[in-house]
Every structure is written in structure tokens, then in C-alpha cells.
Chain A
Amino acid sequence: MKMTDKIEQMIGAYLNGELSRDEEAELMNWIQADPSNKSLFYSIKDTWDSTKPVTADVNQQLLYFYKTQARKASPKRVLPIWTNVAAAVAILLIGLFAAQFIPFLQTGNKSMVESFQVPKGSHSQIVLADGTKVNLNSNSHLELAPDFSAKNRKVSLEGEAYFEVKSDKSNPFKVQTHKFDIVVTGTKFNVNSYSEDTNIGATLAEGRITLQTKNMRTITLKPGQKITFDQQTMKAVLSEADVESDLAWVDGEFNFKAIPFPDLIRRLERWYDVKLVYEGPEFDSMVYTGRFKNQETIWQVLDALKLTTSIDYTKINFREFKLYLKSNSM
């Protein structure tokens, strides 16, 4: 069939310019009017689509792919007896992935330092040699003392972890963080010590813990209590904890009670390995309370935020989103 000039010009405008609403409707009507119109239109658009330059670099995309797979593969392994299996796992994985994404062994002169690194976007469960269970949250690092054993139970933590410490009254278990140390004998507790967060602290689920700050203040927690430090001033607040909400992350859930907005954002960034940007002082002073259950993607979480708060979002880049207040966008 003979094409009219008008149709040719409208298709050219549709693909690479501007078409008014009326013209677009006219074009769509023409496309629907006859199967041969439709196949001509799709074939022209297809030619247009196939000549788009590819801007992405395949090497970078491949590297990014491997990193994502490494994150998913390595930290979810549960190691029943850490000391025996660690070397084998490390060797196995080093062949596949870059070293920073895996649990690794650093060989010192004499002693070996065993440590776990959990990257953003994942979490991990490990069992230490003394039988203590540790859940490590995203972007966290747990290092065992060089001579860690059932008799010498000392670890250091950056980030967040939930501990179920094997009871042993004569050999206390010690967790060091950059701002405070915790000494226990047999308990269940959560420690949050991300250096970039506004608030850090610990929540006690069972048993008893003694916490000592770097300036030698000692605080004892009872079950169901939590201690929160303002990271800048190290001012401490002891309060009744919502244990369920503080430990929700262990089961892959989010449950927040009055969390500062910037801390919420950093949690989401770590958990989903995305970048979330926002501007404006309104955000810094906001406090968020709410829960997300079994959200698989960051899209779902952002949609939930959008539905329940005045926050909206747009995707601005590869794994990068911008948050803004709805009223500002009007």
C-alpha cells in the first residue's frame, strides 16, 4: 500500500522528536487499522531501535555480574565448624571471585586471623568454633582473635550482628567494636556498630550483658533492654527494647521504631546494595516507624515508602534512586 507523506513524517517525529497527543492518536489509529500498517510501523521502529549505539561497556557489565553473584553465593553458606571448613571454602571461592567479596583468611607471621566480610546486599550466618551462632548483617566485618577457641572467646565487629552465645560461665565471650566492648557468658543479643550511622548500640534478648565504653563507663543490660548511643556525643540512652523489631533483620524483615531517616536510608542501601540520594534538611530530622516484610526488591520497598509517607522516588542511574518529598515535586 502507498504510504502518505503524513504518515512517514509522523513516524519520523514519533521516533526522534515530538508528536502532539492528537497526532499520536492519529498514528495509533493508522497502525491499528490494518495488519500491514502495523508490521510496517514495527519494522521501521525496529530498524530505529537496532541502530541505537550501545553505551555500556561489556567488560564492566560482566565484572558487575560476577560481583553480584559472588555476593549472593559466598556469605549465605553456613559453616558448621568454622576452623576446618574456612580454608577449603576460601580456596574454592578465590578461584571464582575477587578476594574482597569472600570470607577470607589473612595469614600473619605465626597466627592466623580469621575473619568474615559480608558485602552490601547480603547477610550471612556462621557458627564459631565454640558453638556460638552469629548472624552478620550487610556490609559487616567480623574478626576472630588470632587464637580464638572455646577457651579464648574474643571477636571484633564492624557493622551489625546478632549473637547467640554458647553458654560457658568460666570463659566469657567478648565483642569489641570501635566505640564499646561487650562481655557476656551465654546470651542472645544484637550489636549495631556501623561507623557511618547516627545511632549505634545493643539490644539484649536473653541473659545478661555488660557493656563498657572506651572511656570506661560500664553498663549492665537486662533482658528486653536496649542501649543506644548517639555516635557523635556518645550520650547513652537505656530503654525498654522492642526486641522483635530490633532482630527482624535476622529473618530478612525490616521493622523500624522511630529510626532516624538517614539511618533508614543507609540500612536500605546496605541491604539492597543500591545508592539512595536525597536533598533537604526536612529528611535529616525525619523519624521513621514502619515495617516491610519479605520485600525482595528495592522497588517494592520504595513503593511501600511511597504509599505510606510523603516520599516519592525516581530512578536516576544504574542501581541509584533519588528520593524527594511529594509536595516539592508538584
Chain B
Amino acid sequence: MPNFEQVFRKYHDSLFLYAHKFVADESVALDIVQDVFTLVWEKEKQQLGDEHLKAYLFSAVRNQSLNYLKHQKIVRKHQQHHQSLESEMEIRYYESGEKSLIQKENLDQIYEAVNSLSDINREIIELSRFEGLKNKEIADRLQLPVRTVETRIFRALNELRKKLSERVIRILLNIYQLGK
């Protein structure tokens, strides 16, 4: 059975990304992850089986994110209101059983998949994500119109998404063949 520290190390980064997906603020996301691990710690949830525990962690992050967004709605009545509504909608989407890549995949496997992208798509992911450049800055760097960069962002993500879902299908096929 994994101890608390192993659970923390295994899931911390993924849960951080998952919280950030909804709240779009790094320090808030870190707070949420700390709070979720407090629940694990206090209720000794690390004793749950791994699959159970994982589902528990991700849904706890969703709930905490939702609480935060509701709280924000009261605090900032006007600005960002539609933002938090969109995020709430997205949380509901994942509540209905849809799983995020962040939950399905190891982060290492996601980075590996980025490396396997075509050059042009890998470049755009590296600039926007790993270097943190905005579309306008990328456009300046690559001497391209902003609109082209925007489209390339979409296409790079689409290729990555397909690569990752193909990988899952391949793994399932392997399991199936092993079982035969």
C-alpha cells in the first residue's frame, strides 16, 4: 500500500495542472491541491486502492475548483463573470464522466508525445507552452501573421490529441492480445 508521501509525489503535478485548467491561476491551483491533500491526510484516503484514490483526487480537485469559482463570482461581480461561468460549464462536462488527458496520461507520456510531433507543430507547442510566448510574440518571432499562428496552435493541438488517443488505443489492443 502506498504511503502518503508517495501519493503526494505521484499525483501532485497532475492535480496542479487539473486545477489550473479550471481556475487559470497558478497560486490558486497550488492552494487547491494543498487542500485536497489535506483531505487525503485527514481521512487517510491513501489507503484506497489506486484507481479509487485517483478518481477521488481528481473529483476533489474539481469540487474545490468549483467552490473557488463560485466564491469568485460573489467577490468580483462584474469582471470575469463570464470567465468563471465558462469554467463552471467545463467542470460540469468533466463531472459527467469525461476524463482529461491529465488524468488519463502520465505527464512524461504527454511530453514524449509532443516530441513525436511534426517539426512545424512541435515548434509551435514549444514556443507557446514551454517558452510561454503569446500568439503575437510567436508571430513576431516567426515572421508570420497572427492569424496563421492561431490556426497552427489549433492544428498542433489536434495532432497531439490524436497521437495521444492513438496511443491509448494501442495500449488497449496490446492488453487485448495479451489476454488472448
Residues of A in contact with B (beta carbons under 8 Å apart): 5, 8-13, 15-18, 28, 38-39, 42-56, 58, 61-62, 64-65, 68-69, 299, 303, 306, 315, 317-320
Q: Whole-angstrom distance from the CB of A193 to the nearest CB of chain B?
A: 32
Give bound CA distance, A315 to B71, whole Å. 14
How many chain B residues touch the partner (CB < 8 A)? Answer: 57
User: In chain B between 1 and 41, which residues have their CB closer than 8 angstroms to a CB of chain A?
Assistant: 5, 8-9, 12-13, 16-17, 20-21, 25-28, 30-31, 33-34, 37-38, 41
Instruction: Please indicate the chain A residues that have their CB under 8 angstroms from the CB of B86 in the complex.
Output: 28
B128 touches A43 (CB 8 A): no
Q: Are A64 and B75 CB-contacts (below 8 A) given A47-B161, A51-B129?
A: no
Q: Whole-angstrom distance from the CB of B84 to the nearest CB of chain A?
A: 14
Q: Whole-angstrom distance from the CB of B110 to the nearest CB of chain A?
A: 5
Q: Are A54 and B9 CB-contacts (below 8 A) given A11-B154, A38-B93, A69-B41?
A: no
Instruction: Please indicate the chain B residues that have their CB under 8 angstroms from the CB of A52 in the complex.
Output: 17, 20, 129
A54 touches B154 (CB 8 A): no
Residues of B in contact with A (beta carbons under 8 Å apart): 5, 8-9, 12-13, 16-17, 20-21, 25-28, 30-31, 33-34, 37-38, 41, 71, 74-75, 86, 90, 93, 98, 100-102, 105, 107, 110-111, 114, 125, 128-130, 132, 134-136, 146-147, 149-155, 157-158, 160-161, 164
Taking a contact as CB atoms closer than 8 A, the residue among A17, A46, A50 that contacts B146 in the complex is A17
Q: Are A65 and B17 CB-contacts (below 8 A) given A8-B154, A44-B157, A58-B12?
A: no
Instruction: Please indicate the chain A residues that have their CB under 8 angstroms from the CB of B17 in the complex.
Output: 49-50, 52, 54
Instruction: Please indicate the chain A residues that have their CB under 8 angstroms from the CB of B132 in the complex.
Output: 53
A17 touches B102 (CB 8 A): no
A54 touches B107 (CB 8 A): yes
A56 touches B16 (CB 8 A): yes
B153 touches A15 (CB 8 A): yes
